[in-house]
A = this chain, B = another copy of it.
Amino acid sequence: MGLIVAKFGGSSVASMDRIKAIADRVKSMRENGNDVVVVVSAMGDTTDDLIELALETGPDRNHREMDMLLATGEQQSAALLALCLNNIDCPALSLCGWQAGITSDNNHSKARIIDIEPQRIIKEIEAGKVVVVAGFQAVTEQGDITTLGRGGSDTSAVALAASLGAERCQIFTDVNGVYTADPRVVTEARQLSSVSYEEMLELASLGALVMQPRAVEFAMLYQVEVEVGNSFKNETGTIITGVVNMEKHRIVTGVAHDLNVVRFAIFDVPDKPGVAKKLFKALAEAGINVDMVIQSAMRDNRNDIAFTTEENELQKTIPIVEKLVQDIGASGMTCGTNVAKVSIVGAGMQSNPGVAATMFEALADEEINIHMISTSEIKVSCIIDQERIKDAVRSLHKKFSLDLAD
């Protein structure tokens, strides 16, 4: 057969029993004639426990040293899985990021992979071994250990699959795959057999966090076909791939929602060049990610500006906005966390101009008020009252017939 890169997340390696179950699964992949490279996250709470220890060292968190500390979690689970595999007569060897040839920039704690030199991995595969790579970590050209940010093991797996020209990249997690909506909200939600990279990106960044968005970007860039599936079940997951031919008739693929939203509004902003720049530059410098932005129609040479950001940025954002209101001579501001975002995502909507209208109609039928709207080529998002979010998701799921099989 071919080469499989299989990634197992933190909950899949949370205990020795689970690590042993993974070892059995990997062994059967081998017995089916595949070469296997496994990428593992740290065991269960290891990373959080290490962060807790680091908190005790004082207020300053040196990112280089944090990476040095946190990288040990994946090294441990990689070594333990290799020990398990050897114990069931499946020759295996573990490698840290630096041993696997994964180099990154030196942006500690959220480094980006810049190259993979997989000679050592290839040598061990050719020697008949399963190679277990510690995910989430890399090394700089200067020889410092870096980590790739939360969920970075997904990126490790996709990057290795690309570099090794793997047949398949399987991301094993604790969900069955990607759904048309959150099954906890919509009981009729269906698991998708496939989604495109672009759809997955929109779905992932909208809250269906089965896979790190950067890993999806990487997969798209290098055209790596990824399967997301449940590590505790032996069923087919969702394939994330380029053009999804078999479902091309589908206009909307899924409904995503996100409660982690706070909405800011600034009133009576003077209509002068550079005002918006001033605001968003100040927010960017503070590391605050702005999601949606709306500038209302001019009225007496004064505008209203509204934007959303993540709820945990609330306290950081307020003083920045308050200062700006004074600086630019606006009349005031408000902010509210009682809102949520609902989005429809689908590659098919690019050629179907009526999709947004259908969405608004569905929300209107439910008497759900829309506060903000933003659209992209394959997504329409609305900010609505948080208390109506479940109604919105259910009505949209029904309106676009997502409960019906392809």
- A interface residue numbers (CB < 8 A to B): 16, 19-20, 50, 53-54, 56-62, 64-66, 68-69, 71-72, 75-76, 78-80, 82-84, 86-88, 93-94, 96, 98-99, 120, 143-145
* A72-B72, A75-B72, A143-B99 known; A80+B57 contact, CB < 8 A: yes
Query: Is B83 in contact with A76, judged by CB distance below 8 angstroms?
Result: no
Q: Which one of B50, B56, B94, B99 lies within 8 Å of A76 (CB-CB)?
A: B50
Determine the chain B residues whose CB is within 8 A of the CB of A75 once the complex forms.
68-69, 71-72, 75
What would be 14 A-B contacts, judged by CB atoms less than 8 Å apart? Answer: A19-B57, A57-B80, A57-B84, A58-B87, A58-B88, A59-B87, A60-B87, A65-B79, A65-B86, A68-B78, A68-B79, A68-B82, A68-B94, A72-B79
Main SS of the interface on chain A? Answer: helix
Determine the chain B residues whose CB is within 8 A of the CB of A87 once the complex forms.
57-60
Considering only CB atoms, which chain B residue lies closest to A98 in the complex? B98
Query: Is A83 in contact with B99, judged by CB distance below 8 angstroms?
Result: no
Determine the chain B residues whose CB is within 8 A of the CB of A54 once the complex forms.
80, 83
Q: Which one of B62, B64, B82, B120 lies within 8 Å of A143 (CB-CB)?
A: B120
Considering only CB atoms, which chain B residue lies closest to A68 in the complex? B79
Query: Is A56 in contact with B16, judged by CB distance below 8 angstroms?
Result: yes
Bound CA–CA A71/B145 (angstroms): 15
Determine the chain B residues whose CB is within 8 A of the CB of A83 once the complex forms.
54, 57-58, 60-62, 65-66, 69
- Shortest C-beta distance, A168 to chain B (Å), equals 26
Determine the chain B residues whose CB is within 8 A of the CB of A61 once the complex forms.
83
- Shortest C-beta distance, A40 to chain B (Å), equals 12
Bound CA–CA A53/B58 (angstroms): 30
Considering only CB atoms, which chain B residue lies closest to A54 in the complex? B83
Determine the chain B residues whose CB is within 8 A of the CB of A98 once the complex forms.
98
Query: Is A16 in contact with B86, judged by CB distance below 8 angstroms?
Result: no
- Shortest C-beta distance, A120 to chain B (Å), equals 7
Considering only CB atoms, which chain B residue lies closest to A56 in the complex? B16
Q: Kindly list the 7 A-B residue pairs having the minimum CB-CB distance in the complex, ordered from nearest.
A: A58-B87, A69-B79, A72-B72, A57-B83, A68-B79, A16-B56, A57-B84
Determine the chain B residues whose CB is within 8 A of the CB of A88 once the complex forms.
58
Query: Is A16 in contact with B57, judged by CB distance below 8 angstroms?
Result: yes
Contacts A64-B93, A72-B72 given; 9 further ones with Cβ under 8 A? A16-B53, A16-B56, A53-B76, A57-B83, A58-B84, A62-B83, A65-B86, A69-B83, A120-B143
Determine the chain B residues whose CB is within 8 A of the CB of A80 once the complex forms.
53-54, 57, 69
- Shortest C-beta distance, A14 to chain B (Å), equals 13
Bound CA–CA A133/B96 (angstroms): 18
Bound CA–CA A50/B72 (angstroms): 12
- Shortest C-beta distance, A102 to chain B (Å), equals 13
- Shortest C-beta distance, A8 to chain B (Å), equals 16
Bound CA–CA A88/B76 (angstroms): 30
Bound CA–CA A66/B94 (angstroms): 10
* A16-B57, A72-B76, A75-B68 known; A82+B94 contact, CB < 8 A: no
Determine the chain B residues whose CB is within 8 A of the CB of A59 once the complex forms.
87
Bound CA–CA A133/B154 (angstroms): 30
* Most chain B CB atoms below 10 A, which of A61, A80, A83, A145: A83
